[in-house]
Structure 1
Amino acid sequence: MEKRGRRQARYVAASIEKQLGALPVIADYARRLDLAGIIDRACPIRDLADLSHGQVIETLVANRLTSPAPLVRMTDWARELAVEEVFGINPALLNDDRIGRALDAIAPELDHIVGSVGAQAISMFGHPKDRRLDLKQIQAGLAVTGDGGVPVFHRAYDGGAGEVAQVVGAMTELQKMARPREFLLIGDSKLVSYNNVSAMTDAGVTFIAPAAKAYAPAVTLAALDLDSATEVNYAAQRDAAKSAAERGRWRVSQDTMTLAGKRKQDPVRTLRRVFVHSTARAHAAATARAKKLDRATDDLQRLQRGLGSRHYPDRQAVTARITAIASARRVTAYLRTETGTDPATGKPTLHWWFDQAALDAETATDGWYALLTNLPADLDPAEVLIRYKGQEVVERRYGTVKGPLAVAPMFLKSNRRIAALITVICLALLIFCLIERQVRLAIAPQTTLDGLYVGRPAKPTGRLIFEAWLDSA
């Protein structure tokens, strides 16, 4: 009798692991912003296409938020993460050519896309130069909300463009976006010029900006009387955990100044000039000056010990070294020297000291700076300072662009693609900041979350939130 063995077929399903991370959250925020829809309406594509431009850009935004790197091997990134499962996109379609065509498509429509997405963000979430000639350079301008520092507007500018000329265009776009609400424009010293102030005043836009030295010279600051200035009821966030005695203090006073145009018929513009004294700033200035003087003293003493050596054989060599020390240690304003030659030995001589009058004049300005504004007079100087204090959030957002979102390097040759990628990165920054803001609102009045840093609670910055998602994936 013949035995026949039975063969049993076995099917083993392969297990595929992919990182999920922050992708579902990013996709949700992109949907609420109508990101792909806004892009597809501005840049329509044939119905037969596998992917719309909006889908590609939405995926690029997710890439910047989860694995920022130059635009190479996007397909590999999409395969490693659950891009297909979350966004419904076949990773094989995200090749270099398709990404390049999407960037080309949105390049002529950047203004419309940025304005529409910014307006949608306000509607959904808001409550009212290194001279490297070998590289392409580009400037990126950001405008963020006072509530949460959410970037609702950005522009890419030519690397050599003057910043002062960028204000009016940004103001006009922000005014359209803010209607019917009024908005306060807070910027740096480049905001202030006769043309900019005239445009803002005529448009009914209020602003605050720090005064450049031309509008608040050292002699003016040195003459200010601290005792007659008004103390401000304000505590910096960095001082929140300190006792009242340890916290920095601010005092303010004010006067007015005028700006005149180049033409006789130009109306004179009158601005409020609010003088601010910060104890923290005064302490920092005194500490920095002491370090400069100590380092310069050490350099000059070593120079004096080496007089007549092969390094400093004559008066000319000594003078050259003094100039180098004064420049490197930034003590030119108060370093005084006398050099000569000893008739008996022929060696160079040196006598040096710091001009006490010059030091006293600089010390008198410690802690003082000025703000310029066209806010109405019924808003007291203390309130002007408090409103200005939100300006630093813009600098933090630039730090995010340069850090977690990795704006550089870019391996793109076309100017239009560079400008388009800047927009992609700024759209990623928008979602990054919205997530940070929503998490902070969700845990309020708490300001920290356990588990973001090992061993101690940490403030939920966008960077920490995304790192936590990555670690838990």
Structure 2
Amino acid sequence: MPEQKTSLDHSAPAPRRTKRVVVPGKHAQADGLQLRSYDVGALPLLTQIVERMQLQRILSQHLPKDDSRTELPTVTALLVLFANLLMAREPVYGVGEWAALFPPDLLGLREQDLSRLHDDRLGRCLDRMFEGIGPTLIMAVVRHVIREFAIGLDELHNDSTTVSFYGAYNEAGQESEQRGRPTHAITWGHSKARRPDLKQLLYTLTVTSDGNVPVYFSSASGNTVDDGTHIGTWDLLYELIGHANFLYVADCKLASSENLSHMATRGGRFVTVLPRGRTEDKAFRQRLRATPSVLKWTLLYKLANDKGHIIDELFVCEDDHIHSEGYRLLWYRSTRKAEQDQSRRARSIQKTTEALSDLRERLQGPRTRFRERAKVEQALAELLAEAEASPWLLVEIEEQEEETFRQATRGRPSEQTKYLRETRSRFTLTWKLNVEALSEAEREDGVFPLLTNDRKLSATEVLQAYKRQPLLEKRFSQFKTDFAVAPVFLKNVSRIQGLLAAYFFALLVQTLLERELRQAMARAGVATLPLYPEDRPCARPTTHRLIEVFSPIQRHEVRVGQAEAQVMVTKLTKTQRSIIRLLGLDPRAYGLA
């Protein structure tokens, strides 16, 4: 029987998505009894913060208007997505199933909206977010947050990280335009995650010293250099605050002449690290190596751990130092950093000696290919070029003559057999520590320079401002662990940019909840809360831990026959009640009178 070929009608429309009927909660029934159970968790705590932020109103004003046929508003769906990012981090296609576990009213939904909360709808919502996100929307949200939560803006910290992507992303390899707006290039660049094999985007964040609250973010192509992001960020912060009299703290990428001049000439203040290799840095370190006793250091303060043991001592050099462009240059020394520098150098030396041992084994192998000195020198140069410890090791190549004998003619050897003597060069490596170089390096341990144009700040105040910079790294850590930003389960770069904006708003909610609880604890004189396992005390509660503590809370609706359902809520623990009281949350949100 001949094979029948089926012709494809390419003009036929694609089949429409089958409408699902989603019933919220989990159900059980037996002998006239019906039970419907919902998760509640920490959702009321997060909802309180979102309502105070007025996210729904502000997003509605700045995002493109919905089509009249839209059944589920964009902003409503985005708020559900924010809650998911905070509590579960499900892929976009799993948000609808996750939302069905909760009472629809807690998510601002109607029961019929659950079936509309699918991946296509959320994808279109991210398209709308991409179209509307920008400085205007971000500053509208942040301005209201600053007023509502009384956030101080006298000191701001800026830094960047990278978001890695698994996959080719060939269509997003170049910057282009979608929906009338520019898109980033997902491409290779300097990976801060130490994954140079993965493509990436750059994510820049600015936070306050008051609670580390995010006040601005931006994203850029993966090959963007950090140096060029500071001027645009500072100008937007100037517009947000309304004046230039705030302290801008950033890492050494800020310390370019263009960046510093832009801020200083407009009345701005900054604190940054002087990069290694600058003229002033080389001169001071050379002086430190040559005559360390000439430099005088003044103790600023000491740091102790919980047991009272001193873990760090901070000193400042008494000599005045001026940057070539007239800024203050302060040199500090930290005993803990000195220990870290020594440990890092020891690990580097060990790693380099292991690599040298491997190369030596290759040189001495019976079938080695290193028979020429030039080839050995090239291999050694490549090894030392990649090794951080090369200045502290003295490596020599030793050449030895190896004799071998073979018969001059063929045949079985006898007493009359003549042998020919052959010599071949064989190389080996020897190395030892460069004691003088190590001694000079130890004199630099723990030393670092800070650059500022603020002459009113004391040396201690400049140092403490810089020491608050790692708190921004904590936000990046939460960004990549609590929120699990990677892997990104999206392909379209415009939707990815919309998702990164959603992460900013979720991070803002998370930070504000932490700040509100910690301030409430301080006002009430509560030093710790028993949030850790086995009721161990926690002095600085995090939103992530609050979500875990409140996760067992559920709402149950029991119905007997056709009677009205009775509502029951999981009995709250003493700790949960304390947190609700500290946050000033309406007890009725958890079914309490």
**1:252, distance to aligned residue in structure 2 (A):** 1.5
Verify: 1:434 aligned to 2:434, yes or no. Answer: no
Quote the offset at 1:208 in angstroms: 0.8
User: Contact between 2:60 and 2:75, CA under 8 Å: does it hold in 1?
Assistant: yes
CA deviation map 1:104-136 (0-9, x unaligned): 223232122211111111111133278989343
CA pair 87-222 structure 1, distance change in 2 beyond 3 A: farther
Partner of 1:352: 431
Task: Give the letter aligned to residue 544 of structure 2.
Answer: R
Which structure shows the higher strand fraction?
A: 2
Q: CA deviation at 1:292?
A: 3.0
What is the one-letter code of the residue matched to 2:129?
I
User: Rg larger in 1 or in 2?
Assistant: 2
CA distance in 1, matches of 2:494, 2:362: 58
Q: Structure 1 CA distance, aligned partners of 2:552 and 2:445?
A: 45
Q: How far is 1:51 from its partner?
A: 3.0
Counterpart residue number, 1:450: 530
Distance apart, 1:48 and its partner CA: 6.1
Q: Distance in 1 between matches of 2:526 and 2:362?
A: 60
- Structure 1 length-normalised TM: 0.86
Distance 2:490 2:377 in 1: 49
Aligned-pair CA distance for 1:42: 1.4
Partners in 2 of 1:134 and 1:22 — Cα distance?
A: 38
Matches within 5 A, 1:322-341: 322-323=380-381, 326=384, 330-341=388-399
- The 1-side partners of 2:456 and 2:34 are apart by 72
Conservation of the 8 A alpha-carbon contact between 1:56 and 1:99? yes
Secondary structure at 1:282 match in 2: helix
The residue aligned with 1:464 is: 545
Percent same amino acid at aligned positions? Answer: 25
What does the per-residue CA deviation read over 1:58-101, in whole Å, with 9 as the maximum and x for residues that have no partner? Answer: 11110100111331122111102334444234221212222122
Query: How far apart are residue 189 of structure 1 and its match?
Result: 1.1
Q: Root-mean-square deviation (CA), in Å? A: 2.9
| Equivalent in the alignment of 2:51 | 31
SS at match of 1:283: helix
Between the aligned partners of 2:142 and 2:372, the Cα distance in structure 1 is 64
1:278 CA drift (Å): 0.8
TM-score, with length taken from structure 2:
0.69
Aligned pair in 2 of structure 1 residues 369, 102: CA closer, same or farther (>3 Å)? same
Bigger mean CA offset, 444-453 vs 392-401: 444-453
Change (3 A) 1:72 1:343: same
Change (3 A) 1:131 1:71: closer
Does 2:177 correspond to 1:134? no
Distance 1:455 1:347 in 2: 67
Gaps of 5+ in 1: 1-9, 259-268
**Structure 2 CA distance for partners of 1:336 and 1:411, relative to 1, 3 Å:** same
CA distance in 1, matches of 2:321, 2:165: 39
Report the 3-state secondary structure (helix = DSSP H, G, I; strand = E; otherwise coil) of the residue aligned with 1:148: coil
Does residue 101 (structure 1) correspond to residue 124 (structure 2)? The answer is yes
What is the DSSP-based 3-state SS (H/G/I as helix, E as strand, rest coil) of the residue aligned with 1:364? helix
Q: How does 1:78-157 map to 2 (within 5 A)?
A: 78-89=99-110, 90-111=113-134, 112-128=136-152, 134-135=168-169, 136=186, 137-157=200-220
Are the structure 2 counterparts of residues 39 and 163 from structure 1 closer, same or farther at C-alpha, using a change threshold of 3 Å? Answer: same
- Separation (CA, whole Å) in 2 of partners of 1:21 and 1:156: 32
Match for 2:127: what amino acid? D
1:45–1:438: structure 2 CA closer, same or farther, 3 Å change rule?
Answer: same
Q: Helix, strand or coil for the counterpart of 1:250? A: strand
Matches within 5 A, 1:232-311: 232-233=300-301, 235=303, 239-244=304-309, 246-253=310-317, 254-258=320-324, 269-297=325-353, 300=356, 308-310=364-366
2:493 to 415, 418, 428: 415
Letter paired with 2:35: S
Q: Secondary structure at the match of 2:449?
A: strand
Q: Label 1:164 to 1:295 Cα distance change in 2 as closer, same or farther (>3 A).
A: closer
Per the alignment, in what secondary structure is the counterpart of residue 326 of structure 2? strand
Which residue of structure 2 lines up, in the alignment, with residue 6 of structure 1?
A: none
Q: Does the aligned pair in 2 maintain the 1:315–1:339 contact within 8 Å? A: no
Corresponding residue SS for 2:84: helix
Q: Across the two proteins, how many residue pairs are aligned to each other?
A: 449
CA distance in 1, matches of 2:224, 2:298: 40
TM-aligned CA distance change 1:82 to 1:326, over 3 Å: farther
The question of whether the paired residues in 1 share the 8 Å contact of 2:165 and 2:488 is answered with: no
Letter in 2 for 1:92: S
Distance in 1, matches of 2:460 and 2:511, equals 29
Moved more, 124-133 or 138-147: 124-133
Residue of structure 1 in register with 2:94 after alignment: 73
Amino acid at match of 1:382: T
8 Å CA contact 2:165–2:487 kept in 1: the answer is no
CA distance in 2, matches of 1:349, 1:45: 74
Q: Say whether 1:424 aligns with 2:458.
A: no
